[in-house]
Amino acid sequence: MRRLVSACLLFFAIPTLAQSSSSLAARRAAHLRHGINLSEWFAQVYDPKGYTKEHLVGWVTPDDIALIKSAGFDHVRLSVNPEPMMRHNMADHLPPEYLGYLDGAVKMILDHGLAVIIDMHPESEFKAKLVQHDDFVEQFSDFWRAIAQHYSSYDPEMVYFEILNEPEFRDRYRWAGVQGKLAAAIREGAPQHTIIAAGANWSDVEDLLVLTPLPDANVIYNFHFYDPHTFTHQGATWGTNYWHFESKLAYPASLEAARKVAAQEPDAFNRLQVLRYGLDHWDGNRIGVEIGQAAEWGKHWNVPLTCNEFGVYRRASDPQDRARWIHDVRTTLEGYGIGWNMWDFGARDNGMGFGVVNGSKEGPNTADEVTVQALGLKR
């Protein structure tokens, strides 16, 4: 009888617990409505001098953070490359000096009343090692446990842990296993904090749709939205080669406008890709259908979602076309109650990148009015 009673209790207790934790994750997701990525600070430092003290303490200034706050953002996604902190076979021993710089950045963000996602954002070579070697997965989980434990005393309403940016795993089922292991390590280090998980590859909507949620209810699920890359990555010199020939490709798409851009492509195969963009009905309606599938997935599993990268490269795009796409994605996400985080704050190299600010190496960054307006924030 006692056994029967405890079995009944278990039967009823588990769904209740799961529900209360999942509403905890949903409540936490409400702190992540309008965000901006902070890149090139603790990750993606391509200056040959690397991750120096000067860079880590000076790249983003208190004025930048104050600008982010005053524009109306509520959180930032801080990309962190684990490599400068990860010691071979001693990944649980975090180097105190480097960690001190990261603490300084996190403190500066929190002091301005912004929540922060600690987004593990290594280079592709690091991710390739996770694809190939179980031993490296184990080391990375030791590292994550230590990082999570280090930040476990920080306010869980304000500090979030994102397992891995764009995993680049072609094998979605291996990624499911690796993600589960890393999430468990984070949970051991920080029992109260909310974890951000994502699908394999580039964490696109497709990658989310094949994911089965983790056996941990305190998780927000993330996807990235750059569709179609032919438009959002026009002018880019990374990713797919033909993008760098494109310039002023219009949004919403039309065949007539695409023809002009296709003519700039020296390769016939790539001319066809650009023409297809013109024919593929890329407009607010299409974006609504695509993001709608992610929203359906979240509803099906009863888990909260966030979209923590979307944006358009500025170099070759027309500012108004770019603003229209940002506006359509942002309002679609808001319509589905999904929080967003744009890529990104800004690149100091040319003051543009995907940025929400205009900046230069010398002067302070200033908000780019067209982008701020497309994001529906204060002008």
Q: How far is the CB of 165 from ligand BGC (least distance, A)?
A: 6
Please give the residues from 331 up to 350 whose contact with ligand BGC meets the rule CB under 6 A. 343
Select 166 or 204, whichever has its Cβ closest to ligand BGC. 166
Select 162 or 309, whichever has its Cβ closest to ligand BGC. 309
Q: How far is the CB of 44 from ligand BGC (least distance, A)?
A: 6
Burial of 231 (0-12, 13-18, 19+ CB in 10 A): buried
Residues 296 and 156: their CA atoms lie apart, in Å, by 27
Residues 371 and 379: their CA atoms lie apart, in Å, by 10
Please give the residues from 171 up to 210 whose contact with ligand BGC meets the rule CB under 6 A. none
Contact at 8 Å (CB) between 221 and 306?
yes
Residues 107 and 113: their CA atoms lie apart, in Å, by 10
Residues 153 and 172: their CA atoms lie apart, in Å, by 33
Could you give the angle at the alpha carbon of 218 between the alpha carbons of 215 and 220, nearest 5°? 100
The verdict on 165 binding ligand BGC (CB under 6 A) reads yes
Select 154 or 169, whichever has its Cβ closest to ligand BGC. 169
Select 74 or 166, whichever has its Cβ closest to ligand BGC. 166
Residues 278 and 156: their CA atoms lie apart, in Å, by 45
Name the residue number minimizing CB distance to ligand BGC: 166
Could you tell me how far CA 335 lies from the centroid of its own chain?
Answer: 20
Select 165 or 306, whichever has its Cβ closest to ligand BGC. 165
The verdict on 246 binding ligand BGC (CB under 6 A) reads no
Contacts with ligand BGC by CB under 6 A: the residue count is 5
Please give the residues from 44 up to 63 whose contact with ligand BGC meets the rule CB under 6 A. 44
Determine which residue in the list 142, 162, 166, 207 makes contact with ligand BGC, applying CB under 6 A.
Answer: 166
Contact at 8 Å (CB) between 82 and 118?
no
Which of 37, 109, 68 is closest to 378 using CA atoms? Answer: 68
Select 126 or 343, whichever has its Cβ closest to ligand BGC. 343
Select 25 or 305, whichever has its Cβ closest to ligand BGC. 305
The verdict on 126 binding ligand BGC (CB under 6 A) reads no
Determine which residue in the list 74, 309, 321, 368 makes contact with ligand BGC, applying CB under 6 A.
Answer: 309
**């179609």: which residue's tokens?**
228
Binding interface with ligand BGC (CB under 6 A): 44, 165-166, 309, 343
